[in-house]
Amino acid sequence: MKKLFFTSVLLLLLACNSEDENPIVDRPTEFEYYDSIEFDGLERSYYVHLPKNYTKSVSYPLLFAMHGGGLLGYEGIEAQSQLSELSDKESFIVVYPEGVKTLGFRTWNAGDCCPSATLLKTDDIGFIHELLQKLTSELSVNSKKVYATGFSNGGQLAYTLANRYPDKFAAVSAVAGVLQDFPFNPERNVPIIHFHSYQDQTAPYNGGLSDAPNITNNFPSVDATLQSIANSYNCNVLKETIFSDSNTFDFFRYSDCNENVVIELYVSQDGGHTWPGGKALPNMEISNHFNASALMWEFFKEYEIP
């Protein structure tokens, strides 16, 4: 395995997880590192960022952040979302797993999307689950406060993780990615916060074909995605308008659901297939009417595994 060390090494004594009773192996702490594990016959890579105040005497929430399909792995979503900076401010660990690279592109098998991961039947949820177990054994993680988010194809995978591992992820968020794992019927109702743009042509808000190359999926709309999940959760209040401005953004909530969970939806009037409030890739418009990273973290903090 290869590691790149970005900051100085701090030696800490063996300690116990103060919330989870989880003993942590005594070893140097690297505050940022790139590493890999062998899983399902493949070398699977990931990048970890620890908050600047990290110490083994405290247990921390853990956030998985999955990149979208494309040329970039962790570099893309870390730059877009600025979650590493937020982790320093809010004291949580963030890990950026990477999809398998095929012909220069990294994608995730989130169910019905996206190639080449779907064509190769890559076990990406198995990889995430294995990585969660590894990080929990190596780092001071509060296992009741594990969350997942992702952009585009990575957001699709966040939905899949909620569906397949509801006992591991306290809440999830998707940015510009809709459900692709059917049927959606997790054993526990996982709280969800979703971010999108009405102008998105790659994952169209109203559903349909994507403008992305090699994607032939007829995507469900965002409304259809959240309606089906709300039905699964037996929500009685459907798409309640909390805030609406035709020049900025809309904010909706699905509530009065089983297990007292909620689903929230923020939709920008501008932007496109980007991360609201983050950094845009070259030649891409971004919405700054709200900050998806800050809003999702405030949402996540309200939930933990029962």
Q: How high is the pLDDT of residue 10?
A: 29
Write the CB contacts of 215 (distance below 8 Å, at least 6 apart in sequence). Answer: 113, 114, 115, 209
Q: Is the pLDDT of residue 24 over 60?
A: no
Contact 105, 120 (CB under 8 A): no
Write the CB contacts of 41 (distance below 8 Å, at least 6 apart in sequence). Answer: none
Q: How high is the pLDDT of residue 202?
A: 92
The residue whose two tokens read 């198995």 is: 126
Q: Which domains does the chain have, with CATH numbers?
A: 32-300 (3.40.50.1820)
Average of pLDDT values for 9-15? 29
How do residues 179-237 score in pLDDT, each as one tens digit?
Answer: 999 999 999 999 999 999 999 999 999 998 888 777 777 889 999 999 999 999 999 99
Q: How high is the pLDDT of residue 201?
A: 92
The residue whose two tokens read 């349909």 is: 208
Q: Which of 52-66, 214-228, 289-303 has the lowest mean pLDDT?
A: 214-228
One-letter identity of residue 38: E
Q: How high is the pLDDT of residue 11?
A: 28
Tell me the pLDDT band of 27, cut-offs 50, 70 and 90. Answer: very low
For residue 71, count other CB atoms closer than 10 A to its CB: 10
Got the DSSP string for the chain?
----B-S--B-----B-TTT--B----PBPSEEEEEEEETTEEEEEEEE--TT--TTS-EEEEEEEPPSBS-SHHHHHHHH-HHHHHHHHT-EEEEE-PEEETTEEE---SS--TTHHHHT--HHHHHHHHHHHHHHHS-EEEEEEEEEEETHHHHHHHHHHHH-TTT-SEEEEES----SSS---SS---EEEEEETT-TTTTTT-EE-SSTT---EEPPHHHHHHHHHHHTT-SEEEEEEEE-TTSEEEEEEES-GGG--EEEEEESS--SS-TTSPPPTT-----SS-HHHHHHHHHTT----
Write the CB contacts of 133 (distance below 8 Å, at least 6 apart in sequence). Answer: none
Tell me the pLDDT band of 136, cut-offs 50, 70 and 90. Answer: very high
Tell me the pLDDT band of 26, cut-offs 50, 70 and 90. Answer: very low
Contact 276, 251 (CB under 8 A): no
Q: How high is the pLDDT of residue 29?
A: 61
Q: Is the pLDDT of residue 28 over 50?
A: no
Please tell me the pTM assigned to this model: 0.89
Q: How high is the pLDDT of residue 17?
A: 34
For residue 170, count other CB atoms closer than 10 A to its CB: 26
Q: How high is the pLDDT of residue 12?
A: 30
Q: Is the pLDDT of residue 21 over 80?
A: no
Q: How high is the pLDDT of residue 214?
A: 74
How do residues 162-183 score in pLDDT, each as one tens digit?
Answer: 999 999 999 999 999 999 999 9
Half-sphere exposure of 115 (CA within 13 A, CB side): 8
Q: Is the pLDDT of residue 37 over 80?
A: yes
Tell me the pLDDT band of 70, cut-offs 50, 70 and 90. Answer: confident
Buried b (16+ CB within 10 A) or exposed e, 200-228: bebbbbebeebebeebebebbbbbebbbb
Q: How high is the pLDDT of residue 216?
A: 76
The overall average pLDDT reported for the chain is 89
